[in-house]
Amino acid sequence: MPIWCDPLGLALGVALDRLVGDPRSGAHPVAVFGRAAARLEGSLYGDGRARGVVHVGLCVGGAAGLGVLLSRAPKARTIVTAVATWAVLGGTTLAREGAYMADALERDDLERARARLPHLCGRDPSALEAPELARATVESLAENTSDAVVAPLFWGAVAGVPGLLAYRAINTLDAMIGHRSPRYQRFGWAAARLDDVANYVPARVTGLLAVLIGPDRRGALAVLRRDGHRHPSPNAGRCEAAFAGALGVTLGGTNVYGGRTEHRPTMGDGPKPGVRDIRRAVRLTRAVSLAAAGAAVLTSWALSSRAMRHRLHPGPPAP
């Protein structure tokens, strides 16, 4: 039986994420996967790339295999797709975190904002003032619009439930072990590289959607074309550059991650983002997410219709 995405299930999953968001409990499927991956790491860990490849292969392969098994129940295809889509999407939670940061900074509550920033990114918030907290929030909203929304929808549209689950496994592993540290420099190499591959197309789709939907299309396109490649990540820069141009701000600069300092090139032509730009970024995130959802549903409908027609009316056998 061919595997494709159920467009109705995909739409229902998007609606469920919009209404409910992520539950704040350890029972969330992504949290369950993370605990299982951590236990497996405890058994497999070694300071080398080969063990990391095995770890990623087992985790991602297991997630994709589960997706294949779930897809073999045609009568439950819609509900399975809806639940899987809801489980892997994080758009509503992402926008809520952005709004929370905006509210805290609008009230000049730096301690509350600093305590909340780790929900969005991994940089050290302890010494950040309002302007840097605002920049960190806008940059995280831009990058995570791709990771939390566009990328899972893309892979769900083209690869069904296995694509949804495999992508979330890849992205979760990258967050867990894909960062640069003495422990994961080699063991996490495979997770980081696979995440780069999985996000290559979705990041560029995110950038283009920000250009088409953002408040300054010309500025977004110009900054995306000029600065999108300057970021150390092959994907995050496309999202951040498009958001910077669309919002008329400049992103990039010095970031501190657990004692490690990174100096990143700037992207954009305007001033550095201020507190008021956070809510503008939240609105852009929501708009891009909605557009991505519509495109994913239409794509999945087209692909599933084509697959169904081919199944009912197969072509002549090869000579």
Closest alpha carbon to 111 in 127, 122, 131, 135: 127
State pLDDT tens for residues 137-174.
999 999 999 999 999 999 999 999 999 999 999 999 99
Predicted pLDDT at 312? 58
Predicted pLDDT at 311? 59
For the segment 118-141, the average pLDDT, to the nearest whole number, is: 93
For the segment 250-275, the average pLDDT, to the nearest whole number, is: 88
Instruction: Decide if 163 contacts 68 (C-beta within 8 A).
Output: no
Beta bridge partners of residue 254, listed in sequence order: 263
Predicted pLDDT at 3? 61
The pTM (predicted TM-score) of the whole model is 0.91
Q: How confident is the model at residue 123 (pLDDT cuts 50, 70, 90)?
A: confident
Predicted pLDDT at 212? 97
Please name the residues in contact with 119: beta carbons below 8 A apart, sequence gap of 6 or more.
97
Average pLDDT of the chain is 92
For the segment 29-33, the average pLDDT, to the nearest whole number, is: 90
For the segment 102-107, the average pLDDT, to the nearest whole number, is: 97
Predicted pLDDT at 25? 64
Q: Is the pLDDT of residue 249 over 70?
A: yes
State pLDDT tens for residues 187-239.
999 999 999 999 999 999 999 999 999 999 999 999 999 999 999 899 999 99
For the segment 11-22, the average pLDDT, to the nearest whole number, is: 92
Predicted pLDDT at 248? 97
Percent of the chain topping pLDDT 90 = 78
